[in-house]
Chain A
């Protein structure tokens, strides 16, 4: 499954909304449980990725509520409602539908305008 993110990079003013898109080459919605097998990660320079969201919209423990995930099927969005300086990072989507052949998007670099 190919994961395509857009845009490649994005600059947003502090306090403004940031939106990152992710499209999969096939549906990530599993009909038996009605869940989308899609996760989002944040990676800061020199650090490993950090899980933000799974099941397309479930925040991981401790993740601020300004981060939200939405979408279903093949189209997904990560939204940061009010950008903070510490949110500068690269964001990746990942599908876990085709277990265990997991694939990631190429990443979206988020900066401050």
Chain B
């Protein structure tokens, strides 16, 4: 069975850093890009960026450039997303997703990780 299992919910202080992991199974990790998508409470979906697990190359949305780092550990079939200098508007559910049929089409998603930002 193809799965993407994310790490658990986080509560963070403003200005701190959160790291979320996404472990995949059921397909070859290096075959497809790993993407991250943000969904703020009651809001829509926003693409944050991607990492290519095969070579570690990344592409980030301009809005998050400089605050986000995505990586992939081939030995553990696990991708990670680090978001730094957290602010209140970063409170959201973060999803990992991949594109096994068509580049840019997200046909497999993790269950989501909720990040709360509060002092």
Total number of residue pairs linking A and B with CB closer than 8 Å: 58
Main SS of the interface on chain B?
loop
| Contacting residues of chain B (97-118) with chain A, CB-CB under 8 angstroms | 97, 101-107, 109-112
A39 interface residue per 8 A CB criterion: yes
Contacting residues, chain A, for B104 (C-beta < 8 A): 37, 39, 96, 99-100, 102
- Which residues of the other chain, A, contact B105 by a CB distance below 8 angstroms? 39, 51, 54, 96
Total A residues in contact with B, Cβ cutoff 8 Å: 22
Interface string of B20-38 (1 = CB under 8 A from A): 0000000000000101000
CB of B44 within 8 A of CB of A60, answer: no
Q: Does B82 contact A (CB under 8 A)?
A: no
A49 pairs with B44, CB closer than 8 A:
no
Q: Are B50 and A100 in contact (CB under 8 A)?
A: yes
Complex alpha-carbon distance, A104 and B97, angstroms: 14
Task: Determine the chain A residues whose CB is within 8 A of the CB of B61 once the complex forms.
Answer: 101
A74 within 8 A of B: no
- Closest chain A CB from B70 CB (angstroms): 12
Decide yes or no: A102 and B44 within 8 Å by CB, A49-B106, A60-B107 being known contacts: no
Scan residues 24-71 of chain B and give those whose CB is less than 8 A from a CB of chain A.
Answer: 33, 35, 43-47, 49-50, 59, 61-62
Least distance between B81 CB and chain A CB atoms (Å): 15
Known A39-B105, A100-B104, A106-B44; further 12 A-B contacts with Cβ < 8 A: A48-B112, A49-B45, A51-B105, A60-B101, A92-B44, A94-B106, A99-B103, A100-B50, A100-B59, A101-B61, A104-B45, A107-B44
